[in-house]
Amino acid sequence: MEIDKFKKKFGPEAKNYTKYRTPYPQELYELFFHILPKGSKKILDIACGTGKSTEPLVREGLEVYGCDHDPLMIKEAESQAKNKNLDIKYALAETEKLPYEDGCFDAITIGTALHFFLNEMAMSEIKRVLKNKGLLFVFWTLTTKEIPDEDSIPGSIYRSFGWIKIPSLLRDLKNTSAFLDKSSFKNVSIKNIPFIYNTTVEERVNLQTTSGAYELLSTEDKNKFLNEIRSVLTINLGNREYFQLEEEIQVCHGFKG
């Protein structure tokens, strides 16, 4: 897959990832804890990045773990946890080779990352470290409706810089649900959680730097790319204070059979 070209390119922008990636809405974690099996003690967040998807899992009485294959992302996650006095145990690891004992986790979460390892080898490892009847909770963020022209970033800019995008099939609820069914997960369900947020020109520009595809550009093209997006968005924003964007969290979850 083309996305394999930037799968391991996120680390250099770890601090921007912390600063500009929009936090997941509280409703997502309310759903997670609502369906989390009673008596659960240990939770693993796979592809944790800088900890944005891991930190909201911290609750009294729970052991929270996070793993990612990028050492710079893990370093930033550990720094954030230390600064916020959060007891999270982070580890450097590939999903296809997790450094944990069999059946040691009551639940596993994967936020905006399953598209990088939607394969049988990774799923075999996930099932290995997950307890019987343990919860697998997968989610990602998507724009839910057509963004008005005055709020959009023209696709022509991305195409002119050879920007690689995630294939839509890999972020499709029906496809993900079918994959979990095929992997013998039980009671597989899907859910959509809509949310609205405000964002500025600079926040949207800097958000581009948190994609692995950005790291594939040359230094010269990075500057050109960001300047083109900044110029278009500044014109589009006009006299408004900020953009108001509608998105949703798409969730797919099931239990190990």
pLDDT class for 149, splitting at 50, 70, 90?
confident
Considering the domain boundaries, does residue 138 fall inside one?
yes
Considering the domain boundaries, does residue 211 fall inside one?
no
Mean pLDDT, range 130-152, rounded to an integer: 86
Give the amino acid at 248: E
State the chain's mean pLDDT as an integer.
94
For residue 138, how many other CB atoms are within 10 A of its CB? 25
Considering the domain boundaries, does residue 124 fall inside one?
yes
For residue 136, the cross-strand partners are: 108, 254
Question: Does residue 182 contact residue 240 with C-beta atoms inside 8 Å?
Answer: no
SS3 for 44-60 is EEECCCCCCCCHHHCCC
Considering the domain boundaries, does residue 186 fall inside one?
yes
Considering the domain boundaries, does residue 148 fall inside one?
no
Give the amino acid at 32: F
pLDDT at 127: 98
Compute the chain's Rg from CA coordinates.
19
Considering the domain boundaries, does residue 181 fall inside one?
yes
Considering the domain boundaries, does residue 221 fall inside one?
no
Range of the domain at 76: 2-143+166-196+245-256
pLDDT at 1: 64
pLDDT at 144: 65
pLDDT at 7: 82
Highest mean pLDDT among 21-25, 105-109, 212-216: 105-109
Class of residue 219 by CB neighbours under 10 A (exposed 0-12, middle 13-18, buried 19+): exposed
Considering the domain boundaries, does residue 209 fall inside one?
no
Question: Does residue 249 contact residue 140 with C-beta atoms inside 8 Å?
Answer: yes
pTM for the predicted model, two decimal places: 0.94
Class of residue 47 by CB neighbours under 10 A (exposed 0-12, middle 13-18, buried 19+): buried
Output phi, psi for 183, to 5 deg.
-85, 15
What CATH number is given to the structural domain containing 11?
A: 3.40.50.150
Give the amino acid at 104: C
- Give the residue, 11 or 54, on which the prediction is more confident: 54
Residue 145 in this model has a pLDDT that exceeds 70: no
User: Which of 122, 92, 125, 129 has its CA nearest to residue 107?
Assistant: 129
Mean pLDDT, range 114-127, rounded to an integer: 95
Length of the chain: 257
Residue 15 in this model has a pLDDT that exceeds 80: yes
Mean pLDDT, range 116-137, rounded to an integer: 96
Name the token pair of 249: 């969290």
**How many domains is the chain partitioned into structurally?**
1
- Per-residue model confidence as pLDDT tens digits over 38-83: 999 999 999 999 999 999 999 999 999 999 999 999 999 999 999 9
